[in-house]
Amino acid sequence: MRHTSIAILSALLSCAPLTTFAQVEIDDDDDDEEDIEVFDPATGEDEDIALPEGMLTELDSLLIEWNAKSYLIPEGDCTAGENPEFDKDTYIHRLQRLPNVIEMPYNDVVRKMIDLYTGRLRRTVSLMLGTSNFYTPIFEEALEAYQLPLELKYLPIIESALNPSAVSRAGAVGIWQFMITTGKQYGLEVTSLIDERKDPIKASYAAARYLRDLYSIFGDWTLAIASYNCGPNNVRKAITRAGGETDYWKIYPYLPRETRGYVPAFIAANYVMNYYCDHNICPAATNLPASTDTVIVTRNLHLDQIVALCDVPAEEVKALNPQYRTPLIPGDSHACTLRLPTPAMNAFIQSGDSIYNYHATELLTGRKEIEVAQDEVGTRRSKVRNGRRGRSGSRSSAGSTVTVRRGDNLGAIARRNGTTVAKLKKLNGIRGSNIRAGQKLRVK
């Protein structure tokens, strides 16, 4: 089956500079700060809420990704301009202008998150704007397939900062940050050889199904988004503790610390990905990647075999097939998908069986059958034990002869070995009935 590549969208809009500027001040003493302080009107005091892990992703970890190194050109000077300050009404007006189904209200917590994205995280936003051109078409296609609001395409921004290799402290993996149990529940294969949580396409469709199911539980997108972060049980508990309230902002104090910041961060992500120009943030420049095709592999295949015969860099093969945890594609166990650049795919098809046979002995080393070795002492012990059994009338190591014991007769030997006297005579060429102790007789 053939697919076109993840296409880069049309040329990015240029950002027009504004005439007045005033740097927004946020607590930026520690770039690794994991909490932010916000005012809680219910208590009249400031409180700390945890930032989503996608807002803690280091810029360097995004820049080492193959897509970023191959197709993104970070705009070092573009984000150096001052971040203008706007009044509350401007933020409210902009949020209301977004063509969204999901409610996007303004409050102090949302403002804090917007200030983080447009301030301390502005270079990360620049990179995510460029990276989103790779992934947004995938997200939108999956969401549209299940008739979900397209603004959910910004959820991976706060989950992983669009890093397909992201791994959380809790063990969530991939661009949509699936835990292993939830991933398997939604059809993502996770074994020692394969982790489909890292496959942006399969994970996007799994995430769309999961979000659909969460919405069916609560009938509210804000609560569904909160559930994506902390699980539906925690949201139910918060609803119960809030006296049955089903408004996210009313159950807010009863949610886990990170979830209290999660929905505000989602609103802020929607804001910054649409109004970045107004904050003098420029997207990282992008180059168009080569088109790709896919093929179904039904035999074991090694990365080195692909690299050698298809003239494609190993790093590119790994980036296009992130679901494989080792260099082995286990086609013997079940059909597996392989994605390659179109020229490499043509070479793959033309190679036929030769690609599977290339250095197969060295690269595909798993043994299907093996004998258990015995040392010399073990072998001698086996012979001694077999000899003892033979002297007592048991079968020898060959399993077809016995040794006659003192006092034995053909009838007794026949009964012990499940045969007849006539057969014993025939097998051993005995005409009468005389046998002697120590004599070996065939019984089969």
Task: Please state, rounded to an integer, the average pLDDT across all residues of the chain.
Answer: 83
> In angstroms, rounded to a whole number, what is the distance separating the alpha carbons of residues 130 and 142?
20
Helix (H) or strand (E) holding 257: helix 257-275
Extract the tokens encoding 137: 């078409």
Tell me the percentage of the chain whose pLDDT exceeds 90.
55
Burial level of 28, CB count in 10 A (0-12/13-18/19+)? exposed
Report pLDDT digits (tens) over 90-140. 999 999 999 999 999 999 999 999 999 999 899 899 989 988 888 999 999
Show Cβ contacts of residue 419 under 8 Å, excluding neighbours closer than 6 positions: 443, 444
Extract the tokens encoding 351: 């190679």
> In angstroms, rounded to a whole number, what is the distance separating the alpha carbons of residues 152 and 66?
25
Pairwise pLDDT comparison (148 vs 85), residue with the higher score: 148
Given a contact cutoff of 8 angstroms between Cβ atoms, the answer to whether 248 and 263 are in contact is yes
Given a contact cutoff of 8 angstroms between Cβ atoms, the answer to whether 225 and 103 are in contact is no
Q: What is the 3-state secondary structure (H, E, C) of 110-151?
A: HHHHHHHHHCCCHHHHHHHHHHHHHHHHHHHHHHHHCCCCHH
Burial level of 231, CB count in 10 A (0-12/13-18/19+)? middle
Long-range interactions of 149-155: CB distance < 8 A, separation 24+: 149/100, 149/101, 149/102, 149/221, 151/98, 151/100, 151/101, 151/102, 151/270, 152/102, 152/208, 152/211, 152/225, 154/266, 154/269, 154/270, 154/273, 155/207, 155/211, 155/225, 155/228, 155/266, 155/269
> In angstroms, rounded to a whole number, what is the distance separating the alpha carbons of residues 270 and 441?
90
- pLDDT, residue 353, reads 93
> In angstroms, rounded to a whole number, what is the distance separating the alpha carbons of residues 74 and 234?
39
How many CB atoms sit inside 10 A of residue 6's CB?
A: 18
Show Cβ contacts of residue 366 under 8 Å, excluding neighbours closer than 6 positions: 300
Given a contact cutoff of 8 angstroms between Cβ atoms, the answer to whether 291 and 4 are in contact is yes
Alpha helices in 281-375 (DSSP H): 303-310, 314-320, 342-351, 354-357, 360-363
Pairwise pLDDT comparison (172 vs 31), residue with the higher score: 172
- pLDDT, residue 61, reads 72
> In angstroms, rounded to a whole number, what is the distance separating the alpha carbons of residues 197 and 322?
9
Q: Mind giving me the DSSP string for 187-231?
A: T--BSSSBBGGG-HHHHHHHHHHHHHHHHHHHS-HHHHHHHHHH-
- Residue positions counted in the chain: 444
Helix (H) or strand (E) holding 40: strand 35-40
* Furthest C-alpha separation in the chain: 124
- Binning pLDDT at 50, 70 and 90, where does residue 401 land? confident
How many CB atoms sit inside 10 A of residue 264's CB?
A: 27
Question: String of b and e for 292-321 (b: at least 16 CB within 10 Å)?
Answer: bbbeebeebbbbebbbbbbebeeebbebbb
The model carries a pTM of: 0.74
User: Position 443: which residue type?
Assistant: V
> In angstroms, rounded to a whole number, what is the distance separating the alpha carbons of residues 327 and 298?
16
Report pLDDT digits (tens) over 303-333. 999 999 999 999 999 989 999 999 999 999 9
Report pLDDT digits (tens) over 164-204. 889 988 899 999 999 999 999 999 999 999 999 999 999 99
- pLDDT, residue 8, reads 34
Pairwise pLDDT comparison (137 vs 285), residue with the higher score: 137
